[in-house]
Amino acid sequence: MQLDLEEFAECLDIPQTTVERWIRQGRIPVRRKGNKCEFSQSLIEKWAETNHLKFVMPGMGEETEASGQEKEQEQAADDLQTVMRRGGVFYDIEGESVEDVLWAVVNRVPYFDTPEKKKSLYESLKAREAMMSTGIGKGVAIPHPRTPMTETDGPAFITTCFLKSPVDYRAIDKKPVFVLFLLVSTSAQLHLHLLAQLSFCLRNEAFLQLLNQYPAPEELYAKIAELSERIET
């Protein structure tokens, strides 16, 4: 069965604009017919499974209207500024390698308060980096677990960490990373929701300039709140 762009986005329960961006980045198996894109259901189901995304054919989902409203309420509660405040902001994170930095960051995040939880998060972060660097360019990385961390008792959070010295993160533009946004969520849908908001902010040159100044937490949160008002939902 072939799916068009709109149907594909519906199957993954993500915005169509996100799908279009992934196509431009070459992240999705797609066949082009003129100006149209078609997706093979069998290939996409395997792709979604590999990337730990929920794939449900239109009309086959079991969510009720009420559960859909609950999801919207959950995402509204998890706005970007709230999630970043939960995670906190840290400075002078030490480490000479990606692994060193990730371990230092793991020891500062909330909710992972036992050696077992810290190790689980650290191993998941390393596994994700082994697949592909989360260094997105311009000195920024967005490390995140390979799969949602459903075992944590806490809510979603983003921990902001400014490094003491930039680290070679094998980023796409080869620039060393000086700031990390560690994103931890409890579902794939929420992860994509938060990642889209954070990515929007990171495309703003004024925001990038602010990051280079190692801003105080409240200054960072204020800028996030300002940019969040411009995000198209």
Catalytic residue among 52, 144, 191, 193: 144
Phi-psi region of 88 (alpha: psi -120 to 50; beta: other; left: phi over 0): left
Query: ∠55-60-66 over CA atoms, to 5°?
Result: 95
User: If you compute the radius of gyration of the chain from its CA atoms, what whole number of angstroms results?
Assistant: 18
* Active-site annotation holds for 191: no
Q: Among 104, 145, 150, 106, which residue's Cα sits nearest to residue 127?
A: 145
Cβ atoms of 61 and 201 closer than 8 Å? no
Cα 208 from Cα 210, distance rounded (Å):
5
Q: Under DSSP, is residue 37 helix (H, G, I), strand (E, B) or coil? A: strand
**Cβ density class 80-107: b for 16+ within 10 Å, e for less:** bbbbbbbbebbeebebeebeebbbbbbe
| Among 2, 13, 14, residue whose Cα is nearest residue 61 | 13
182 contacts 143 by C-beta, under 8 angstroms = yes
Give the length of the chain.
Answer: 233
CB 58 within 8 A of CB 10: yes
Which positions are annotated as active-site residues?
144
